Structure 1
Amino acid sequence: MLEPLARHSMVKASTAGWTAVMNRYPELASEPIVAGWAHAGRPLIVRRPACSDTAGLVPLGLPLPPSHGKQRIAVSLATADIVASAPPPLLADAAAAAPATWHATIEKLLRLLPEIRTYGSLAWQHLTGLPYLSDSSDLDLLWPLSAAKQAGPLLSDIARIAKQAPMRLDGEITGPTGGVQWRELTGTDADEVLVKGEGGVTTTTRAAFLAGHVS
C-alpha cells in the first residue's frame, strides 16, 4: 500500500491494529459493536483527513447503524495494520440489500451505467448485514467520470431518474482529482464546484473538472 488509498475505499483492519485503536480510544471500546468490529470482519471507510488526525496514519470512518445511535466514528490506522482494501461495492452487488421500493430506480441506474458504485447506508447494510437503511435513507452513489463518454447526457439522465425516485439520489461524479456532488455539475461550464479529494477540498470550474484537471 505505497500509494494513498482513495476516499471511499473500504478497508479491513488487523486484529492487532484494531486492538491498538481501542487502546487509543477507550471510550469506544466500551461499545461492544465497535470493540468487535474488526473481529467480525467488518470494514471501515477511508475519509478525508481532519486537523486532529495524526500524520502518517490512514484516516478512517465507521458509521454505526441507527439502532446504535447512527454515530459517525473517526479513527486512524497505520498502513501496516490494514490487511485488505477494495473500492466501495458495485450497486449491482448491493442491490439485493435495498428495499423493494428502490428496485425500479436501481435498475434504471444500472442500465445507465453498470459500473456505478454505492456507499452510505445501502453499502453498509450490504457489507455488514446490519440494519442501516430506514425510510429516510438516501441512495449514495459514485459515478466514474472516465466511464461516462459524455458528461452532459449522463448528468441529465441522472437528474431525470432522480425526479422519479422514491428516495433522494446523492453522491459524486469521480475523476482524477476527486469527486464533485453530481448536482453541482448540472450548471454552466464557468460555475465553481467543490472537489473532494484525498488531501482535502479544492475548488475548480465545472469545465475544468469534467476535462480531468484542476484549474
Structure 2
Amino acid sequence: MADIPVASRRRHDLLLIASDAWRSALDRSPAMAELPFVRGWVERGWPVILRRHAEAEDNDLVAVGLPLPPGAGRHRVGLLLPSEAILRVRRPPSLRAAAWVVDPGRRPTVPALLQFGERYGVEPAVVGSLLWHHVTGLPYLTPASDLDLLWPVRRLGDIHPLLRGIARLQRDTPFRIDGEVILPDGVAGNWRELWNADTASGDIDVLGKSLAGVRLVLRASLSPVGSDA
C-alpha cells in the first residue's frame, strides 16, 4: 500500500518514524523518555498515531502519540515531530488482520462484524487496545477492554443502515463495541452518538472530529439529498 498523501491523512493513521528524529524529540521531553518502552519504541518498528494538535502546539510540526499498556501505567505520550521525520503513513489495520489477538470469548463476534461490513462495502479497522496489542504484541487487552472499531463509509446513504446494524450487534454482544463512523468528508463521529441522533425525533448535534479540529454534525446532514434513509 502506498503512503497516504498529506491532504488525505486522518486521525488514527499510523506513522513510522525515523530513529534519529525520535531520539531528538525525546531529548526535548526527558520525562516521557523515562517511561517504559518509549525510548526504544521506533527501533522496535512500532508506529505512533497521528493526533490532533493540542492548544498552543506548533501546527508546523506533526502531532503524534502513543498510549502505554495497563501494566506500564496507561500513560499517554504526546510528541511533536518535523514532517521529514515521517518515514511511512498507513491506515489502521483491519479487524480481519487483527482478529488473531481477540480473546477466545469475543472471537465468535468477529465474523459477524466482518460479514456485516461486507454487506455495506465497509472494512472495519481497529483502534484502541486491540490496535496496540496487534502492532506491538504488548498486553494492552484486558477483560474490560472495549472493541474499538472505525467504520469508514463511502456514501451518506450507508450511514443509517450501518448504525442500525452496529446497534443490533451490540444488543447481542456481551462486551462493549465502541469506536467511530468516518463520514465521506473524513470527519468522524462516535457511532453511539450518531445512533442516538439518528433515532431521535429532532435534529441533534453530534461532535465530529478530524485533524483540523472538531465541529458539530447535524442529523440532517447525514442523509444524501432526496434520501429518506
Distance in 2 (alpha carbons) for counterparts of 1:113 and 1:91: 10
* Preserved CA contact (<8 Å) 2:206 2:217: yes
Q: Secondary structure at the residue paired with 2:115?
A: helix
* Preserved CA contact (<8 Å) 1:138 1:168: yes
Identical pairs, percent: 37
Spell out the pairing of 1:1-215 with structure 2 (5 A cutoff): 1-3=5-7, 5-114=9-118, 115-146=123-154, 149-175=157-183, 176-186=185-195, 187=197, 188=200, 190-211=203-224
CA-CA distance at 1:110 after TM superposition: 0.4
TM-score normalised according to structure 1 size: 0.92
* Preserved CA contact (<8 Å) 1:12 1:84: yes
Distance in 2 (alpha carbons) for counterparts of 1:32 and 1:168: 29
Distance 1:4 1:23, change over 3 A: farther
Gapped regions of structure 2 (runs ≥ 5) = none
Q: Which amino acid aligns with 2:18?
A: S
CA-CA distance at 1:32 after TM superposition: 4.6
Q: Secondary structure at the residue paired with 1:204?
A: strand
Distance in 2 (alpha carbons) for counterparts of 1:2 and 1:144: 18
CA-CA distance at 1:149 after TM superposition: 4.9
CA-CA distance at 1:190 after TM superposition: 1.7
CA-CA distance at 1:48 after TM superposition: 1.4
Distance 1:47 1:211, change over 3 A: farther
Distance 1:132 1:210, change over 3 A: farther
| Per-residue Cα deviation, 1:59-86 (whole angstroms, up to 9, x for no partner) | 1111001110011111121110010110
CA-CA distance at 1:163 after TM superposition: 1.5
CA-CA distance at 1:5 after TM superposition: 2.5
Distance in 2 (alpha carbons) for counterparts of 1:30 and 1:177: 35
Gapped regions of structure 1 (runs ≥ 5) = none
Distance 1:154 1:148, change over 3 A: farther
Q: Aligned pair count?
A: 212
Distance 1:148 1:209, change over 3 A: closer
